[in-house]
Amino acid sequence: MWADLKAHHSQVKDRRFAEMLDAERAEEFSAEALGMRFDYSKTNIDAEGRKLLFDLLGQTRVAERRDEMFAGARINETEGRAVLHTALRNLDSGMVWVDGHDVMPGVRETLERMERFAEEVRSGAFHGAGGKITDVVNIGIGGSDLGPAMATIALAPYHDGPRCHFVSNVDPADIASVLRECDPKTTLVIVASKTFTTIETMTNARTAKAWMSDEVSDPAAQFAALSSALDKTADFGIDTARVFGFEDWVGGRYSLWGPIGLSLMIAIGPDAFRAFLRGGHEMDRHFHTAAWHENLPALLAITGIWHNQVCGHATRAVLPYDNRLARLPAYLQQLEMESNGKGVSMNGEDLSVPSGPVVWGEPGTNGQHAFYQLIHQGTQVVPCEFLVAARGHEDDLHHQHQLLVANCLAQSEALMKGRTLDEAREKVRDKFEGDELERQAKHRVFPGNRPSVTLAYETLTPEMLGKIVALYEHRVFVEGTVLGINSYDQWGVELGKELATDLQPVVEGKESAEGKDGSTAALVAFLGKYGLT
C-alpha cells in the first residue's frame, strides 16, 4: 500500500515544483467549495502522486468508514462508541440513529434549552446576587476549554453578550488572574467537564465556588454545568435546570458544537451560534458527497499524509494570517495529536508508518519574526498550512489587511522559490569580494522547494469558522482511517494522570519519595527546600 507511494516519492523528491507551477497546475491542484479555496499546488504532489493517495483512501475504505460514522456506527471501537459530533450540527430535519434510536430529538431539545438559558443570561432574566451577569467564567480543560476559548476569540467581532473568560490550568495563577477581573455577585461560572472528574477542572470549580461564597449566599445558583455525569453535577449542587448534558458519542475534542459551546453561545448569541453550526453542517454535507478531487477534507488529508507518512516530515505548522485564529494551532494540537498520535492500529498491530505529525504554529505575521528563519533555512522541512481571509472586520483598516495578505502569499512563494547561490551573490556583490563574497552569499541562500498549502476564505464569520473547524475534524478522520488507528480514544493521557495522583501526597509532604526514581526524588527534595512541602 505504502510502497508505491514511497517509490513515487523517491522518483520526484528532488524535482523543483516551482518549475511545474503554471496557471494550469494552480487550477488542477486547488479546489473551491463553500466560499473557500484550498491550494495545494505548492507541493511536490503531482497527478500520479495524487492518484496513489486517492488509491490509498480507497484501499483503507475511507468512504465506507465515513458513511458508517455519519450513520452512527460504533467506529470508536476501543471504547465501543459511535462518533456523532456531526449530529450536533445536523440542523436538517434528518434522523440519526444509534442502536435503533433517533438521537436528533434529544440534540434539538438540548440546543433549545441552551438557547433559552443563553438568552436569559444575556437579557438579565437570569441574574446573579448583584444583578445582570457581566462575566462568564468557563472552567474546563482540553476539549472542554480549547474549542470554546478558540472560537470565542475568533468571533470577537460578534460579541454582544457578557465578557467570557476561560480557566483551564490547575496552576492557581490561571484562576486567580481571571477571578481578579470578576465580581462574584455578577459572575456565572460554567463548569465544563464531560466526565465531571477531571482533577484540574474540579479543583478550579471548588476554588471558584469558595471565592463566590464569600460574597454570595447561594453560590451554586450562579453555576451551570456542561457534563454527561448528571449524578456528579448534582453532588456539586448544581440545579438540573442549568445542567446541559451530552452523550458518549461526542468526544471531548469534538464537543464544541454542543453544550461545551455554551460560553460561546452566551458571548455571540444563539443566532450566531446557529450560523456556526450551519457552517459545520455544510462542511459535513460537502465531505459526505463531494468526489475526492474536490473534497476539501480529503485533499487536506492527502497533503498531510504525503508530507508526513510519505516524505517523512515530522511536523506541520499551522499559520493563520488571521489574528483572531491565534488559538487555532493550540486547538488543532489537541484535535490532531490527541486523535492521531497513536502507534497501534485498530487491530492491535504496530503502525508501519509514522503516526500523525507534531502540529504547531502561531499567527502571521508574528511568526515571521520568530521561527520562520528555521522554516526557510533550517535543515528540516516543515510543511506549512497558511490560512487567510479576503477581508477582515476592520473595514477602515483594510490597507493593513492587504499588507497581511501580501505577507501570507509572499511566504508561500519564498518557501517554494528559495534563493540560489548566484542570486545571493548578486545581492551582496557590491559589499564584498573574493572569499568573503562567497561566505556572505552562502548565508543568504534559501534552499526553496519547501511545501505549503493555503486555505483562503471570504471572511471569518461564525459560519466560516464552523466550516473551518469541521474541515479539520474530517481531515483528522481521513488521516486516522488511512493509518488504521482509532482517532477517537486517548489512552495516552492516562499514565501521567495516574502518576500525578500517586505523587500528590509526596509533594504535599505526607508521604516520602522513597521508591520513586532518583531524579523524581531529588526534584521533590529540591522543590521542598524552597517551600513546596
Among 72, 128, 142, 451, binds ligand F6P (CB under 6 A): 142
Q: Which three cell numbers stand for residue 259?
A: 453544550
Give CA–CA dist 366/217, Å, rounded.
Answer: 46
**Residue 85 binding ligand F6P, by CB under 6 A:** no
Q: Is the dihedral of CA 284, 303, 337, 411 positive or negative?
A: negative
Give the contacts of 194 (CB within 8 A, at least 6 positions apart).
143, 144, 226, 227, 228, 229, 246, 250, 252, 255, 260
> What's the Cα-to-Cα distance from 39 to each of 234, 358, 388, rounded to whole Å?
50, 22, 12
Question: Known catalytic residues?
Answer: 338, 369, 497
Place of cell 468557563: 138
DSSP annotation of 344: B
Which one, of 238, 243, 277, lies nearest residue 257 by Cα? Answer: 277
| Residue 298 contacts residue 292 (beta carbons within 8 Å) | yes
Closest separation in Å from C-beta 143 to ligand F6P: 3
**Phi, psi (deg, nearest 5) at residue 386:** -90, 140
Closer to ligand F6P by CB, 13 or 206: give it: 206
Give CA–CA dist 335/488, Å, rounded.
Answer: 10
Q: Give alpha helix (H) positions in 92-169.
A: 104-123, 146-154
Among 194, 209, 316, 376, binds ligand F6P (CB under 6 A): 194
Among 86, 90, 138, 201, binds ligand F6P (CB under 6 A): 201
Closer to ligand F6P by CB, 86 or 339: give it: 339
Which one, of 194, 283, 274, lies nearest residue 473 by Cα? Answer: 283
Closest separation in Å from C-beta 171 to ligand F6P: 16
Give CA–CA dist 68/488, Å, rounded.
Answer: 14
- The stretch near ligand F6P (CB under 6 A) out of 153-161, 190-198, 203-211, 354-362 is 190-198
- The stretch near ligand F6P (CB under 6 A) out of 135-143, 281-289, 318-326, 360-368 is 135-143
- The stretch near ligand F6P (CB under 6 A) out of 35-43, 118-126, 195-203, 209-217 is 195-203
DSSP annotation of 523: H
Closest separation in Å from C-beta 479 to ligand F6P: 18
**Residue 253 binding ligand F6P, by CB under 6 A:** yes
**Residue 259 binding ligand F6P, by CB under 6 A:** no
Among 43, 86, 90, 144, binds ligand F6P (CB under 6 A): 144
Q: Count of residues binding ligand F6P (CB under 6 A)?
A: 14
Closest separation in Å from C-beta 466 to ligand F6P: 19
Say how many C-beta atoms besides its own lie within 10 A of residue 132's C-beta.
14
Give CA–CA dist 226/191, Å, rounded.
Answer: 6
**Phi, psi (deg, nearest 5) at residue 384:** -110, 145
Q: Is 364 helix (H, G, I), strand (E, B) or coil?
A: coil
**Residue 143 binding ligand F6P, by CB under 6 A:** yes
Among 84, 96, 141, 482, binds ligand F6P (CB under 6 A): 141
**Number of residue whose CB is nearest ligand F6P:** 252
**Residue 298 binding ligand F6P, by CB under 6 A:** no
Closest separation in Å from C-beta 118 to ligand F6P: 20
Burial call 167-193: b when 16+ CB within 10 Å, e when fewer: bbebeeebbeebbeebebbbbbbbbbb
**Phi, psi (deg, nearest 5) at residue 223:** -115, 145
Closer to ligand F6P by CB, 138 or 365: give it: 138
Closer to ligand F6P by CB, 194 or 327: give it: 194
Closer to ligand F6P by CB, 338 or 473: give it: 338
Among 198, 204, 412, 481, binds ligand F6P (CB under 6 A): 198
Which one, of 167, 161, 164, lies nearest residue 144 by Cα? Answer: 167
> What's the Cα-to-Cα distance from 347 to each of 50, 55, 485, rounded to whole Å?
27, 22, 8
Closest separation in Å from C-beta 227 to ligand F6P: 8
Place of cell 471531548: 252
Q: Which of residues 301-360 bind ligand F6P (CB under 6 A)?
A: 338
- The stretch near ligand F6P (CB under 6 A) out of 69-77, 108-116, 191-199, 432-440 is 191-199
Among 86, 138, 193, 452, binds ligand F6P (CB under 6 A): 193
Closest separation in Å from C-beta 228 to ligand F6P: 8
Closest separation in Å from C-beta 337 to ligand F6P: 11
Q: Which of residues 488-507 bind ligand F6P (CB under 6 A)?
A: 490, 493
Kindly list the residues in this chain that would bind ligand F6P in the complex (CB under 6 A). Answer: 141-144, 193-195, 198, 201, 252-253, 338, 490, 493
